[in-house]
Amino acid sequence: MTEEEQKRIFDTWLGKYRPLLFKVVRAYAFNLADQEDLFQDISLQVWRSIPNFRKESQVSTWLYRVSLNTALRRNRTESKYKDNQYPFEHVEHLLEEREEPVDERLAWLYGEIAKLNEVDRSLTLLLLDGFSYKEMAEVLGISESNIGVKIHRIKKYLTTQSQKFEKHGV
Amino acid sequence: MEFDEMKKIWDSQNSEHLYVINEDALHNRIRTKKKRSQQLVSLAEVIIMISLLVAGSIILLANLVRGEHIIFKYFAAIVFYLGAAYLWFKRSERKKGEGRFENTMMGDLEHALSNSNHQVMLSGTFLYKVFPVISIGALIGEWVTSGFSWMIPAIVVFFIVMYFASRWEHGCYVSKLRELESLKAMLVE
């Protein structure tokens, strides 16, 4: 694959699947500086992954796999430095969250996703984006039956939490 | 709330943007990156040119002073000088091309990308083309002048270490290039 082809694919993917990448960024990084860094890390890994993409899966599945792996690996590395995590608060941020939230229920949903452990968080993103058990197993490297059990638990948890949310509001 | 409803809320993001780009901050960052990439590429060019000239001169002088007049060494010195001249030519071309970028955010970004591409080209050329020639040349030169000695394995080890160091450096420049490309992707809808 020539570098020109790789660049063309990269531009197409980042243009078309940017919302997917932003979902992972928002679910795994909780301040703007981290979100920017994670977005750049993911972009870099997406670039590197292009020659390995064999078209055996859909592009969205592939991108989820790459971006979730990057986010998980980064979280594990970053957790070592958690105490020094916010020395750059004065830096101007490139990304700004929309002033008017799209939907306050969406913010609540992200909040609940953030409370889950790393694997369940990944699974929830895939579930909400309509991936099949087989695709989820492919992305996360766990068995389909295990996924079934986890999904049942996640759905139950989110539904219970939503009742509290609806009762008390935000 | 049922899970299906959550899914509908989730899907609403696909038609909305979660983030907006702070264009002033982006422009400032691009300007800083452009300045850094300019300094870096210029410094790298000067260092490589001086190294090639010094290496060529040492080989040439040693050959002349010792009165060895080994053809291979004259040839090696010429190759080093030609390398420096080629680099000077590429540097002049790059500098001439700097005026073609507009004084806008996209212009600055394209300029930074062009510098970064040039840096990657330089380090890639050194790593995959110049470095093997120098390594093999140094080994042959040592073999021709002194035969097999302890210097041969020492040179081999030196070049292996240098190869991995250069590969690491090349990787750093490629990462910087990808960072700029991801900035561009963030900016271009």
The answer to whether B16 contacts A128, with C-beta atoms less than 8 Å apart, is no
Average pLDDT, chain B: 82
| Cross-chain residue pair A128–B10, CB shorter than 8 Å | yes
Count how many residues are written for chain A.
170
Residue B55 corresponds to which amino acid? A
Kindly list the residues from chain A whose CB atom is less than 8 angstroms away from the CB atom of residue B26: 94
- pLDDT level of residue A125 (50, 70, 90 thresholds): very high
- Do B185 and A165 make contact, defined as CB atoms within 8 angstroms? no
> Least CA distance to A100: which residue of chain B?
B18
Tokens 């909400």 found at:
A128
Q: Which residue of B has its CA nearest to A91?
A: B25
Q: What is the pLDDT of residues B4-22, one digit of tens each?
A: 888 888 887 766 566 666 6
β-sheet bridge partners, residue A96: B20
By the CB < 8 Å criterion, does A50 face chain B? no
With contacts defined as CB-CB under 8 Å, which chain A residues touch B29? 92, 94
The predicted pLDDT at position A170 comes to 43
With a cut of 80, say whether residue A80 has pLDDT above it: no
Q: Using the beta-carbon criterion (under 8 Å), do B21 and A95 form an inter-chain contact?
A: yes
Does residue A79 register a pLDDT over 80?
A: no
Contact A92 B29 (CB under 8 A): yes
Residue B79 CA to residue B91 CA, distance in Å, equals 18
Residue B113 Cα, gap to closest chain A Cα (Å): 13
Per-residue tokens: B67: 């009165």
Taking an 8 Å cut-off on Cβ atoms, the answer to whether B9 and A103 are in contact is yes
Which tops the pLDDT comparison, B1 or B61?
B61
Report yes or no: A18 at the B interface, CB cutoff 8 Å: yes
Chains A–B, number of C-beta pairs less than 8 Å apart: 102
pLDDT digits (tens, 9 = 90+) for B63-76: 888 887 888 888 88
User: Is pLDDT larger for residue A85 or for residue A119?
Assistant: A119
Other Cβ atoms within 10 Å of B1 Cβ, number: 16
ipTM of this predicted structure: 0.74
- Residue predicted with more confidence, B170 or A33: B170
Average pLDDT for B124-132: 85
pLDDT value of residue A88: 38
Please report residues of B whose CB lies closer than 8 A to that of A23.
Answer: 13, 18
In this prediction, residues A41-64 reach a mean pLDDT of: 86
Contact state of A93 with B25 under an 8 Å Cβ cutoff: yes
Instruction: Report the largest interatomic distance among the alpha carbons of chain A, rounded to a whole angstrom.
Output: 57
pTM of the model: 0.55
Residue B67's identity, in one-letter code, is: G
List the structure tokens of A160.
């219970």
Burial A113-145 (b: 16+ CB within 10 A, else e): beebeebbbbbbbbbbbebebebbbbbbeeeee
Task: Establish if B4 touches chain A: CB-CB under 8 angstroms.
Answer: no
Per-residue CA distances from A160 to A69, B11, B12 (Å): 29, 21, 22
pLDDT tens-digit map of B86-114: 889 988 988 888 778 877 777 888 888 88
